[in-house]
Amino acid sequence: MGDLVFLAWPAKRRILMDNTVAVLGSDVRDPQVRTIAKKSMRNYCKYLIEFLDLPNMSSSDEVVASMKIHGLEHLQAAVERGKGVIIASAHFGTIEVGGLRLQDFVDVHAVYDTFRPEYLDRLIQKKRLEKGIHLIGVNDVRGMMRALRGGDALTLLFDRPLEKAKGVTVRYFGRETAVPGGPAVLAMKTGAALLPVFMYRQPDKSFECRLFPAVTWVETGDRDSDVRGIMQKLMDNLQTVVRERPDQWYMFRPMWPEWHAREEAGAREVVPGESSQ
């Protein structure tokens, strides 16, 4: 199914391949680029199937309970601090299955964005609610702070590219991009531990969860600079796991909008000897 979607969805296929070019430091003509991009689409489709089956799953199911957790001590230390935990993750591996596993250790709230069309949004949120996952809208900042101050965990995805004027500028695989600064701002306001967490999908159909040490920072008095520094650390962690398993990262937006625009402009240039008329 993933291969069919890859072939039938040319716009997203192009974006996947362009993002993969940047990750591999390669060229779009490199056969490895297409191979990795196709695997990424396959893994995304597997994630969708797991999501649809979410109401039938629980942390006691073998596939969830057997998930290996590397760095669990970081989560346990963060919970013991009592100031809440921000689980900062990305469009990588599996999100929902990992969330079920981590619920065994902390009460999890999921920050969600709305989807289009509306019936799809209702379906997605209904399935999450059926598993006892507390939902907080992406614009409900009070709800997020309330959950953190109650000592609970808040899951946020931080790798969505934005226009530079609307996001925080960071470097990712050697190129500048902009991402939401929400995780950093929330951590600074509440004192919550900020944990980079990623869930891998393994070839034997098992899963692994990797927790990095909590991101630390020293306030300099320059809020914007502090937010950039924190978000850069998160992106560095993401770069580490994507470099290890690029097929696990499914990003269907141009990760580096300005670079993508230059590439597209170059592709539209008239080759020497041809008429522009």
Where are the strands (E) in the chain, listed by range? 68-70, 85-89, 108-112, 134-137, 153-157, 168-172, 175-179, 193-201, 207-211
Domain ranges of the chain: 59-246
Model confidence pLDDT, tens digit, residues 65-93: 889 999 999 999 999 999 999 999 999 99
Closest CA to 189 of 153, 232, 155, 146: 146
Per the prediction, the chain carries an average pLDDT of 87
Rg (CA), the chain: 20
The stretch 185-198 carries a mean pLDDT of 97
Report the alpha-carbon distance of residue 158 to residue 88 in Å, rounded.
7
Torsion angles phi and psi, residue 140, rounded to 5: -90, 75
Q: Bigger pLDDT: 81 or 57?
A: 81
- Please give the structure tokens belonging to residue 11: 């716009």
Q: Looking at the predicted structure, is the pLDDT value of residue 226 above 80? A: yes
- Please give the structure tokens belonging to residue 144: 């997020």
Indicate the SS3 state at residue 157: strand
Report the alpha-carbon distance of residue 39 to residue 33 in Å, rounded.
10
Q: Looking at the predicted structure, is the pLDDT value of residue 58 above 90? A: no
Q: Are 160 and 254 in contact (CB under 8 A)?
A: no
Name every residue whose Cβ is closer than 8 Å to that of residue 204 and which is 6 or more positions away in sequence: none
Report the alpha-carbon distance of residue 154 to residue 51 in Å, rounded.
19
The stretch 259-271 carries a mean pLDDT of 56
Report the alpha-carbon distance of residue 114 to residue 96 in Å, rounded.
16
Q: Looking at the predicted structure, is the pLDDT value of residue 28 above 80? A: yes
Q: Are 108 and 248 in contact (CB under 8 A)?
A: no
DSSP bridge partners of 197 = 211
Where are the strands (E) in 202-248, listed by range? 207-211
Least confident residue range of 73-77, 162-166, 242-246:
162-166
